Structure 1
Amino acid sequence: MPDTIYDALRESHEVQRSLCRKLLRSKPGEGRQELFTALRIELAAHEAAEERYLYVPMLMNDAGLDSSRHALHEHHELDELVEDLRERPPGDRGWMNTMRKLSKKVHHHLKEEESKFFQVSGKLIGAGDKLKLAKQYRRDYQRMVDKLRAQ
């Protein structure tokens, strides 16, 4: 069966979960900065491509407004926590507390998205569009990863 937008998103979701787990188990100086950079890039690339190729089509449908707005709000909350972590060294006292908050929010968002948002959007987006959106998402996601790594 060909790849849908949901298959593509779930791949990134698994990467996000894995990076959060690794970061929570990490000690200062054990590659924590590199893991955080990988998570930051993964979240930013995923959010940008997901917002463009799943949330925008949902926002165009009255039945998708509330769930899309909620998901966008959660992305903003994740971004705020990532910025907080970027502004302090990974060995800083409060860094791991903020990382725990970020991990909790990431896991909550992904669970909610997979258990609720995908079901709502799945009813509103046609089968052909799900395939097309997957290709567009993957292309934009990779472009964003490349751009963010180069910065």
Structure 2
Amino acid sequence: MDNIYEALRESHETQRTLCRRLTHLKPDDARAWETFKTLRVELAAHAAAEERYLYAQILFDDMGLKSSRHALHEHHEIDECVEALEDARDKPEAWPELVRKLSHEVHHHLREEEKKFFQLSGKILSDKQKVGLATRYRRDLSRMREVVA
């Protein structure tokens, strides 16, 4: 049966793929901006749904407070990287470094989340909650992809 972690990992893989693709494209390649826009939507939609349907649950437990706050902070750092790339659209000399920074932040966050946060939150949530949260997360992720597009 599907659970919140399987649902989240699907978006994580999409994010990783888009980051890898973006780092291999030159700023003057038309595919670079399209890939960035797709990544921006995926990051924003995923963060919103994840914060609502995983982080919020874990924030209510004392054991998960510090980890949830840290993960939220990392989402904010990723948002800042996305904004910097949007601002650098007409600055091709800045693009490669900003793309590398964004990719690094995303990969770091996903790795830390999957290796640490999932294990911690898995101790807090019941199996029933994990299944129910997956359904709610997927529904909100789909909705948010449209909202932020």
Q: Report the TM range for the smaller structure's normalisation.
A: over 0.9
Q: Following TM superposition, where does structure 1 have runs of at least 4 consecutive aligned residues deviating by more than 2 angstroms?
A: none
After superposition, the Cα gap between the structure-2 partners of 1:93 and 1:29, relative to the gap in structure 1 and judged at 3 Å, is same
Within 5 Å, give how 1:107-126 maps onto structure 2: 107-126=107-126
In 1, Cα distance between equivalents of 2:144 and 2:90: 24
Q: Deviations over 1:119-142 (max 9, x none)?
A: 000000000000000000000000
Residue 145 (structure 2) pairs with residue 145 (structure 1): yes
**Residue 90 of structure 1: how far off its partner (Å):** 6.1
Q: Deviations over 1:80-127 (max 9, x none)?
A: 010011112166211110110010110010000000000000000000
In 2, Cα distance between equivalents of 1:117 and 1:128: 18
TM-score (norm 2): 0.97
In 2, Cα distance between equivalents of 1:147 and 1:73: 22
Q: Give the aligned residue type for 2:8.
A: L
Within 5 Å, give how 1:9-48 maps onto structure 2: 9-27=8-26, 28-48=28-48
Identity %: 56
Q: Give the aligned residue type for 2:16.
A: R
Verify the 8 A CA contact 1:58 1:65 in the aligned structure 2. yes
Within 5 Å, give how 1:46-125 maps onto structure 2: 46-89=46-89, 92-125=92-125
Gaps of 5+ in 2: none
After superposition, the Cα gap between the structure-2 partners of 1:122 and 1:87, relative to the gap in structure 1 and judged at 3 Å, is same
After superposition, the Cα gap between the structure-2 partners of 1:31 and 1:91, relative to the gap in structure 1 and judged at 3 Å, is farther
In 1, Cα distance between equivalents of 2:20 and 2:106: 11
Gaps of 5+ in 1: none
In 1, Cα distance between equivalents of 2:36 and 2:106: 14
Verify the 8 A CA contact 1:32 1:90 in the aligned structure 2. no
**Residue 147 of structure 1: how far off its partner (Å):** 1.4
After superposition, the Cα gap between the structure-2 partners of 1:90 and 1:20, relative to the gap in structure 1 and judged at 3 Å, is farther
TM-score (norm 1): 0.95
